[in-house]
Amino acid sequence: MNIVNILEEIEKVDGEIYERLSPRRSAMKDFYSMGKKIALAAAPLALGSMFNKAYGQTLPTAVVATLNFALSLEYLEYHYYNHALVAAPTLTIPTGAPLAAITTIRDHELAHVNLLKGALGTSARSEITYAMTDFTAGGTFGDVYSNYLTFLKVALGFEDTGVRAYKGQATVLKGNAVLTTALQIHSVEARHASHIRQMLAANGASIKPWVSLGAGGIANDTGVPQVDAVYAGENLDVQANITITGINGNSGVTKAAAVECFDEPLDTASVVTIANLFLRTGFKL
């Protein structure tokens, strides 16, 4: 995370960002210096605090709701990976690159949690703890913490849901400076999904680094029908009222190719339904 670059990008949306942060632009030089020195783990907290100071009192209600929605998903993702790493003795994640990747993804999710909490300040939702979760989804994925492939497939479902969820909330955040941060998280979630797909492929799964058509023309290419809801609507080949399949008479652009070229957003209600599968009764979103 490059704090200076983030500030520069936000300035393109909100020309008054520096004035919001401090009446003296010179004061930002100190922040820049700090940003070059603080540990990466501290960066989300520092940046979150900065956003709270700049926008915490003026965030529209809809934006607060959207950021809390995102925070809920980040809590789930963090606990999913963290439990696998520190408290799932019967799950064997191969040492080396696989273990390093899952650890890095876990750390990313925690950074997202801290950033969103900082941005929301006192408006942040209450913490979702591991005790509130059920990553077996009521027994649907009973071996999620004992079978490495099941663990990866459920992880992919989480990441693909996160990508679509952030995309679905973009219109709510449009015109607000926090859109920049949301889009930065969104792109990282997409990289997580792609990397996990490659980890699955390395373990024999027939899967691409991006969402593609699966059996029966459904865009769920994981081979796990229980996660169909994650990929609902991803099999579209019409964009901006233009049919992409065979576009301009090009027979080489198949329906499968057209679907792979575009990702679709997922609405809030659909994401909540998916997330609630992994929360215990009494703790639903």
60-86 pLDDT per residue, tens: 888 889 889 999 999 999 999 999 999
Domain residue spans in the chain? 59-210+268-276, 212-262
pLDDT at res. 15: 53
pLDDT at res. 132: 97
Q: What is the DSSP letter of 238?
A: E
What average pLDDT is seen over the chain? Answer: 83
User: The CATH number of 59-210+268-276 is which of 3.10.450, 1.10.287, 1.20.1260, 1.10.357?
Assistant: 1.20.1260
87-131 pLDDT per residue, tens: 999 999 999 999 999 999 999 999 999 989 988 889 999 999 999
Cα separation, 142 vs 122, in Å, equals 37
Give the pLDDT band of residue 169 (cuts 50, 70, 90): confident
Who has greater pLDDT, 38 or 177? Answer: 177
Q: What is the pTM of this model?
A: 0.79
- Indicate if the pLDDT at residue 55 is higher than 70: no
